[in-house]
A and B are shown apart, each in its own frame.
Chain A
């Protein structure tokens, strides 16, 4: 039993719903108690879909448990087929139905429906949402992809499949548009995009491509590996997030497609992010301490962009994707860090507090943690709330994605110029933390002359002039300066913090 307040991922059947909802022409019959339909509103509200997810629930109740739940399931499956006429039917059980052991696969097979019926085994007490999506996609591909009788003859134009985008995915809609554009500009034809907007009939044509582009390994890696084994289709490994990631992705795709390495393709001139990061206003971003948490794909990519493209210092890297622990540990080692792999947000909160970052890149939960700690934060990964399904085009991938990342991550920080002005005019009579906004037309209340309160555990007392000097430090870094100075005094067993100590500490920590 695990005490949980917040869960980063839903149960595995929600993952299956994400795949079914992304597709066209499939229907999912879910053996589930009354109430599990709550998951519908994730799609209709958070993603604002104008249609119900293609899911029929048996919604059994206590009085049904006597033994006719199997009949209930058969009726629901038969009715769902008659009403929705899908090309393929997914059947499975939610956590409660898993316990009553009705075998949806066997029951649905007995109905002898004229379409493929794909039973999903999603162990709800071991696995979670992303695993459920991955397994569902894999089962669909395995069942529906047709192995060609003869090996495929390569056409004049290289062809690929684009795998991974689902419903309720973090900016999947816009990533898809960005990457499709990029591949088309490279002269590569897109064979099938799946599971987004694809039909079972489309999945049958998967073999008719030279290689696969895996956008989201959490969802598509298992299916892509099967396609490599079964059809000999290689798959991409690079995630096109950030300018460098996108360039490497292009190089990988060009090689897989057998194109000329220097072929006229998409130019990163369109990306303003590298110039913005070089422009002098961004100098203040140098070495900003950043904590990164999210799904493995987005967390690893974000850490790389943060350190190599924006010049931040990564002080924490973690993920809730246990399936990708190895990749994550390898990435974290590159920053001299130990990866934090957990799905307990209290652990994440503790790690963030300990790392004392200046920026948090994370999920919806980290946004709230950061708010509580008074830290700037940007969302880089699911789970997210309704505001991360924006109306505007906002990819994370490709060159436009890099522009979006720059804006999204830098905005919560104090912009360089602003920070500079604040420190230049610190102590100015109308420019201190107690001053009321000047546009309100009120005289500022005089700054409190009360002495700064010292924590009871403070190791050393402050002299009056040191205290005075401390007050001249901009208020948003003052607490840190105080902490550092006190730690410094403690480490040297100084009983009194003087002006000298303050500046000795500053010199010590500025290394």
Chain B
């Protein structure tokens, strides 16, 4: 842990009880990850093998983006495919053949499993292996599951990146330590971090996923793994299995989070702490400046998080510590204790945490608490507004660049805007 943020052993939420609930979950499935993953990996195509529901979901989530020659599609299963499995594999070959003829620029093809394909046990890894032989070396074919029965929203990215890990080249055994930043970041954010790392004296930094599938970063025992997103459990495990060692750090949200994240990396890479702090000081100062006006609006206000992306805990930490908000309940679809240890330590003691969901009961708790701001999905946002609560829809937090110093003010702005709007319209 970075020495910058003192952590008292008796504070935080590391040993706090977590309410675990099961019931109806109002969340996206992992297929949704395709929407931002395909923007990042510019020569990859995502082919979902699923039902009309899957195609409809992606279409609804992608909005107008679906027409800018997107690099994703659905192979819709029909009755004939359900009748016999051998036939389904042939059908898949035919669809992939047609797809690759249409899009010769594709270098990496993901076959993405869905609930229907998982339930009928359509073996997509076998299909990927077979197609790989057929289209190699021009196109690499991989598979992962983005099904709702196995993944929640951002876990789709985890499954995708974990499937890509075996493809990473091996770093030479006695190589100099390299920092591998893992998790999809907007290009603008990635570039900012790259500049900051360089200013701190870290030159050997690579990002995963990379923008091109032909320039994948190497991994090996010399790799130091820095997670940029909190939902990458399987990816981290796969990278650790190849020898990489994780750098424990909170996530780069807000001025404090970004500083702690960067300094943790500096420490792990053996850079002088004072020099590193000096290198990031101007940006950190700018971030704090940008946050100040938002603090005036948000301080003392109550915020309630419905589970969505696993970003909830880092966001709650940012809102509580840097903007003075009070946390009513922080819900997360899945809580990875190890990866979030640094975040939990920073949360105010006594924060109500919940993992999983029974949406009706959670709504009852939310209504009873009458928070000033509710962070929730689009299925709940308008109905809660109609009940008089102010909401911030959560998906935007995944699609918008929010990490790093320069985005700290924007991130706070996402939470102040609905409150300011309510005030404006009431006036």
Contact = CB atoms under 8 A, between A and B. Distances in A.
B73 A4 contact: yes
Contacts of B298: none
Interface stretch (B48-56, B237-245, B404-412): B48-56
Given A3-B99, A99-B116, A100-B119, A10 B25 contact: no
B52 A95 contact: yes
B61 interface: yes
Interface in B98-124: 98-99, 115-116, 118-120
B57 A59 contact: no
A50 B386 contact: yes
Q: Please indicate which of the listed interface residues B81, B82, B382 has the most CB atoms of chain A within 10 Å of its own CB.
A: B382
A40 B119 CA distance: 24
A59 B55 contact: no
A42 B382 contact: no
A1 B95 contact: yes
Given A2-B75, A124-B53, A33 B149 contact: yes
Interface stretch (A60-68, A217-225, A482-490): A60-68
A41 B75 contact: no
A5 B378 CA distance: 23
Contacts of B23: 59, 79
A62 B149 contact: yes
Contacts of A2: 75-76, 78, 95
B73 to A, nearest CB: 5
Interface in A8-24: 9-11, 13-14
Contacts of B360: 79, 83
Given A33-B29, A36-B53, A96 B116 contact: yes
A48 interface: yes
B25 A37 contact: yes
A125 B78 contact: yes
A33 B148 contact: yes
B77 interface: yes
B144 interface: no
A34 B53 contact: no
Contacts of B53: 10-11, 13-14, 36, 94-96, 124
Contacts of A61: 148-150
A368 B70 CA distance: 13
B270 to A, nearest CB: 42
Given A1-B88, A33-B147, A52-B379, A7 B116 contact: no
A230 B382 CA distance: 41
Contacts of B172: none
B397 interface: no
Interface residues of B, number: 62
Contact of B28 (A38, A57, A60): A38
A155 interface: no
Interface string B34-49: 0000000000000001
B377 A41 contact: yes
A346 to B, nearest CB: 9
B59 A6 contact: yes
Contacts of A44: 378-383
Contact of A11 (B51, B64, B98, B377): B51
B77 A41 contact: no
Contacts of B149: 33-34, 60-62, 64-65, 96
A250 interface: no
Contacts of A79: 23, 360
B116 A95 contact: yes
Nearest to A128: B52
B277 interface: no
Contacts of B15: none
Contact of B26 (A37, A50, A368): A37
Given A50-B383, A96-B119, A99-B120, A125 B31 contact: no
A57 B28 CA distance: 13
A240 B96 CA distance: 45
A147 interface: no
A34 B57 CA distance: 12
B24 A76 contact: yes
A11 B56 CA distance: 8
Contacts of B29: 33-36, 38
B52 A37 contact: no
Interface in B371-393: 377-383, 385-386
Contacts of B66: 5-6
Given A1-B78, A33-B29, A65-B149, A14 B24 contact: no
Interface in A393-449: none
Contacts of B76: 1-2, 4, 7
Contacts of A464: none
Nearest to A51: B383
B99 A1 contact: no
A56 interface: yes
Contact of B27 (A35, A58, A99): A35
Contacts of B59: 6-7
Contacts of A14: 53, 56
A33 B78 contact: no
A455 B103 CA distance: 25
A100 to B, nearest CB: 6
Given A40-B379, A45-B382, A1 B92 contact: yes
Contacts of B92: 1
Nearest to A42: B60
A49 B67 CA distance: 26
Contacts of B98: 3
B73 A59 contact: no
Contacts of A13: 53
A59 B51 contact: no
A126 interface: yes
A230 B150 CA distance: 47
B87 to A, nearest CB: 9
Nearest to A3: B95
B116 A41 contact: no
B120 A4 contact: no
Q: Please indicate which of the listed interface residues B79, B99, B360 has the most CB atoms of chain A within 10 Å of its own CB.
A: B360
B174 interface: no
23 contacts: A5-B72, A6-B59, A7-B56, A7-B59, A9-B52, A34-B27, A34-B148, A34-B149, A35-B115, A35-B152, A36-B57, A38-B28, A38-B61, A40-B379, A44-B379, A44-B381, A49-B382, A59-B24, A61-B148, A62-B118, A64-B149, A125-B79, A128-B52
Interface of A: 1-7, 9-11, 13-14, 33-42, 44-45, 48-52, 56-62, 64-65, 76, 79, 83, 94-96, 99-100, 124-126, 128, 368, 372, 385
Given A39-B60, A52-B379, 8 more contacts: A1-B77, A34-B29, A38-B61, A41-B379, A51-B383, A95-B53, A124-B51, A125-B78
